[in-house]
Every structure is written in C-alpha cells, then in structure tokens.
Structure 1
Amino acid sequence: MSTVRIRLMRPEDLTDVTRLAEMESWNLSQEVLRALFESSPEGSFIAELQGKVIGVVMGFNLSEAEAFAGMWIVSKMHRGQRIGTRLWQKIEEYIGDRNLGIFSVSERVVPNKRLGFTVESWKVRHVSGTIATEKIELSEDCIVSAFPSQGVQFDALLQYDTKIHSIERERFLRVWIEGKSTITLVAMSRAGEIVGYGVIKRDSNNTTLLGPLYGETPAFIKTLLVSLMGKTTFGETVDMWVPVGSEILKELLAENKSTLKVHADVTRMFYHHDVKAPQEKIFSIASATAAHHC
C-alpha cells in the first residue's frame, strides 16, 4: 500500500497545485501561485501520493517574530487520514516560535482557536466583478506613474510598503511586482513623496487580481484604482480582498450592484497578538488565501 509523502514543493509541482486549488474552489491562478511560491519556497509543502499532489500548505516567515500561512488544502477524497495535520506540522516546524497569522473562513474560526489562534482581528471581504469608474472622483493632488520610473526606485517603494504593512517584506514585494502579467502603479505627491501604490496581476483565466492597493487618503486610493482599472480591458473581471469596513468598497458596491459581487468574508487570526495595520489606508490586500496580512 502506498503511503503519503510530505515534502517541499518544487517549481514543477505548480501545475498540479493549481489543479488541486481549482478542484477545491480556491480562486488562484498558476501565475499568482508561482509568485507566492517564489517568495517562500522553503515554507511551501505538498502531500504526494503515487506521484500525485493531494495536499498543499504555504508558510511565510515575515521577520524573526512574525509569520503568515495559507493555502492549507487536502483533496476531499483523502481527508480524514491526518494528511492536513502532517502538513500543518511542517508549517509549525518552519515558523518556530513566531506569531503565526492566517485568514480564516467563518466556519473555521472556532476550530482554529483550538489550534492556538487566540486573537481575532479585522475581517477581509472577497469581491469580484466589473467596476464602472466614470463616477469615481479623481484627486488632482497626485501624479500616477508606472513602476519602475525615473522618480521611483525600489527602495522608496519598499519603504512605503513597510510603512503600511509594519513589517519589511522585501523578498515578497520583489517577486509580487515582477512578471509580464503584472502592472504596478505609484502615486506621487506634488512634493515628490510616495502617497500610495497599487498592483494588478492578470492571469490566464481573464481575471485580474487587484492588490495590494494602498493610499494615504481616500482620494489617492480612488485615483490609483481608476488608473489601475484603465490598464484592464472592457468587461474584464477584477478579483480583490478588501477590508470589510472600507467606505470606498461600500460606494463601489452601491454603484455596481449588478456587476460587483461579494463572495465571502474571512477573519484575520493570530497565535499571540494582533499585527496592526492602518485600515483607512488599505483598499485591498495582496491575497487572503496564501499571502501576507496586507
């Protein structure tokens, strides 16, 4: 009888991991999964049975004190065999004593508390559809340009990202903003300071993941949002994870009732303590399924 083997994920596993994610209704393209894997190959594990990927989990050590995890999947036909437990043990070994964070669907909040996630933080909403941008008021106090540009270097972008995220994540950011299917736009004040930035990643399924999108004011966020949407084609679906309390999201949902839909809310949970973030400056995060807390 064949036994299940838990091992580190390899680049050649990404096709099978993507297929597993699709089977379990996780909306993640291979392009996004590749970016996440490349930002933490040493924290990405799969369960393999007779050469077939039947489980996966990803962990990200953000600093000496903080970590995040996601993409914890076991195929339905192989559940109840402690495969998920064995995958999770690998993540616990990888993160060590760090404060681990996750995004939890509502039905897993209580079970996750039994796993040691003692802190419930703010919620994030999964939204997708098309957005009509013609009614969005734009700010005239910032200039939006593509990154990299003459006035914006990576170090400056990293510094701004760290200001929002609270933890420096150079490795993740370098991978996330690269690639032919990725566009990063930066908003600059008239004084030459970064006042926001946003990323879109287009996948092979004609879906565009929008995030992260940060801005110092709602006006800057809206200007970046319109600029990013201008890089998409008409009718292209946008997929994003937005803090539940976002006033801009409420406006968008009201203006796009027939085309923009809410799918689910997830809760940020941590082992030991919350990791604070300025929600008023966050329109969307990179991903709530397998990424960092912003």
Structure 2
Amino acid sequence: MTGFEITGASAADMEMIRAWADEEGWNPGDTDRFAFAVADPEGFLVGRLDGEPAACISAVRYGAGFGFIGFYIARPAFRGRGYGIRLWQAGMERLDGRLVGLDGVVDQQDNYRKSGFRSAWNNVRHEGVPQGAALDAAGTDGADGVEIVDAATLPFRQLAAYDRRFFPASRDAFLSAWTGLPGRTALAAVRGGRIEGLGVIRPCSSASRIGPLYAATPGVAAALLRRLAEHAPGGEVAVDVPDVNRAATALFTGLGLVPTFEAARMYTGPAPELDLAGLYGVTSLELG
C-alpha cells in the first residue's frame, strides 16, 4: 500500500466521481454533486495511488445517529489490489457508532453482508416514457381535490417535515439544495393546505431521474409523474421504486415503465420506521 493516500474530495473530485458513476451505468444527476457536498462536505473520500485517483466512496453523516454509504467505486485498473477495501474501511470508520444504510448493487451484496449489512428491500429502477392513456386512468385514483404546485412556494419547514416521514434523519440543507438547484423541477401535491406528495425531476446523462417521489395514493403519484415528465427530454424518466411498495410497482408497470437496474437497501441494524406505503421513488441511491 506504499504510495496510497486517502483524502477528502475536492470540487474537481466530485465531478470526477460523478463521471465514474456514469461509466458504471448508474446515470447520476448532472448537478447532484452540488447537493451532495452540502449534505456533508467531508463525507466524500478519494483514494490515490502515487497521486493517481484509484477509488472513491461517500460516507455521509446525518444528524447524530445515521449515516449512508455510496459511490463505492474502484477504477478497473486498480481492482483486486486492496485499495477499495482500504477506502471502505475509512468510510465505515467515519460512520462508526451510527446506523448505516446503503443501496448495494447485486454483485456486491454478499460483501456488504460480511460487513454486517442486512437487506430491508430492493430498489428497482423503472424506466421509459409513461403511457398517456394509462397515466390518465391512474390519475383518477385518490387525486380528486389535489393541487400540484411549485414546491418552492410552500414554507420550507413544511417540506422538511414531510420529508422526515420517508427518511430516518433530518437533512434540511441537502433538501433545500436538492429541490432548488437550477435545471430541476420540484412539485408538491397539496390538498386543504396539507402536503400529500412531493416529486423532483433532474437532468441526467440518459433518462431524467425522478426522486424523491412521495405520494398519499397512486393517483397522487401519477398526477405528480405526469407534470414532472413534461420536463424530461422526450418524456423518458427513471424512478428507483422500493419493491415493498406494491402499489408503486403496479403503478409504474402499468404505465409501461420497465425494470432496468436493481439495488438492495441494506442497513447495519434494524431498518428505520418509514412511511413505505407513501414512498414511490427514493431520492438517491448514493445518499438515500
């Protein structure tokens, strides 16, 4: 390991990490890195061998008791030489004493289990152009009286409180950046002054990603999806859907979206209590 050094990621490194994730086929958002850096400026690590970037990982702290691992990538030329595991250990040390979550790709899940992670559910990416007729039908289920508004017009504390139903820790700085970055659209579903749904769409290398997508009913989810898809080039979208929400899976399958990618949501301890019935699409596979 002589010449191998682990440092915090610079702004240039964050763009490099995004490019590496793109090469892995993960289709990260074009501007996600700006919200990621706000979440935890010290939570992104890069391993270099004699100055050359070899591997990366994110180990983001939320509050006092939760953390999330993501962006665990070793460059192909450096795999099998122990550099990745060194970075993994550094990331886990940074989150020591916390409940830790991650979204593990299929070929790494056994390794994560050896590190004490256990599967809670699978996030299955559904991708494609939503079919108009099916979207019309889905939008009639429980969406009567719901108004779709720009999320920026609502008090932020209301948005943050709603987000906490679906995420195990407060993440106000991240949420503010995630919903407000240029080039993305954040919409809320409101009924009688109460938030019943939230969705954000962002540009990516290929299909535009929607996440989070929260909704009280499939109809509210469909109503949000309809409006969000208007901001996707060619109408093509991708949503990472928790398979434990069967209504969500049925909705996206019925809209003609097809599974293209899968990752297991895993935790080092008991899975936190979340409103899984209202979780139609997770925010990010990298930061939870």
Same structural fold, with TM-score higher than 0.5 when normalized by the shorter chain: yes
C-alpha separation between the residues in 2 aligned to 1:166 and 1:98?
12
Q: 1:16 to 1:108 in 2, by over 3 A?
A: closer
Paired residue secondary structure (1:272)? coil
For residues 56-94 of structure 1, the C-alpha deviation after alignment (integer angstroms, 9 at most, x for no partner) is 100121221211111100011101222112211221221
In structure 2, the CA distance between the partners of 1:181 and 1:237, relative to structure 1 (3 Å rule), is: same
- The 1:222/1:55 distance shift into structure 2, 3 A limit, reads same
Cα distance between partner residues in 1 of 2:98 and 2:7: 22
SS in 1 for 2:212: strand
Match of 2:131 in 1: 132
Q: What CA distance in whole angstroms lies between the structure 1 residues aligned with 2:155 and 2:255?
A: 36
1:144 is aligned with what amino acid? I
Task: Give the match for residue 261 of structure 1.
Answer: 258
1:113-155 Cα deviation digits (max 9, x unpaired) = 21121x3201110222221234323222211111211xx1111
Change (3 A) 1:153 1:133: farther
Residue deviations 1:148-167, cap 9 Å, x none?
A: 11xx1111100111123242
Give unmatched runs, 5+ long, in structure 2: none
Question: Displacement, 1:255?
Answer: 4.1
Instruction: Report % sequence identity.
Output: 23
Matched, 1:116 2:142: no
> Which 5+ residue runs of structure 1 have no aligned equivalent?
none
SS in 2 for 1:7: strand
Is structure 2 residue 151 aligned with structure 1 residue 147? Answer: yes
CA distance in 2: counterparts of 1:133 and 1:219, whole angstroms? 14
Specify the SS of the correspondent of 2:169: coil
Secondary structure of 2:42's counterpart equals: helix
Aligned partner of 1:186 in structure 2 is 188
User: Does the 8 Å CA contact 2:27/2:206 hold for their aligned counterparts?
Assistant: no
What are the superposed Cα offsets for residues 160-205 of structure 1, whole Å, 9 maximum, x if unpaired? Answer: 111232422212211211211111101110x2111111101113x3
Q: Which residue of 2 aligns with 1:213?
A: 213
Residue 268 of structure 1 aligns with an amino acid whose one-letter code is R
Q: 1:284: how far off?
A: 0.4
The change in CA–CA distance for 1:100 and 1:255 in structure 2 (over 3 A counts) is closer
How far is the alpha carbon of 1:2 from its aligned partner?
7.4
2:210/2:239 contact within 8 Å kept:
yes
The two structures have a TM-score, normalised by structure 2, of: 0.90
Stretch deviating more after TM superposition (131-140 or 171-180): 131-140
Q: By how many angstroms is 1:50 displaced?
A: 4.5
What is the CA distance between 1:250 and its match in structure 2? 2.5
Asked if the contact 1:130–1:236 (Cα under 8 Å) also holds between the matched residues in 2, the reply is yes
> What per-residue deviation string (whole Å, max 9, x for no partner) do you get for residues 249-285 of structure 1?
32432442xxx33123221111122112222101101
What is the aligned partner in structure 2 of residue 97 from structure 1?
97
| 2-structure distance, mates of 1:142, 1:182 | 22
**Pairing 1:222-233 to 2, within 5 Å after superposition:** 222-233=222-233
Which deviations, in whole Å up to 9, do the C-alpha atoms of 1:16-35 show, x marking residues without a partner? 22332233333224422332
Q: Indicate yes or no: 2:282 matched with 1:291.
A: no
- Whether 1:164 and 2:163 are equivalent positions in the alignment is no
What residue number does 2:196 align with? 195
2:278 aligns with 281
Q: How many angstroms does 1:206 deviate by? A: 5.1
Question: What TM-score, normalized by structure 1, do the two folds share?
Answer: 0.88
SS of equivalent to 1:177 = helix
Of the structure 1 ranges 18-27 and 5-14, higher mean CA displacement relative to structure 2 is found in 18-27
Find the counterpart in structure 2 of residue 243 from structure 1. Answer: 242
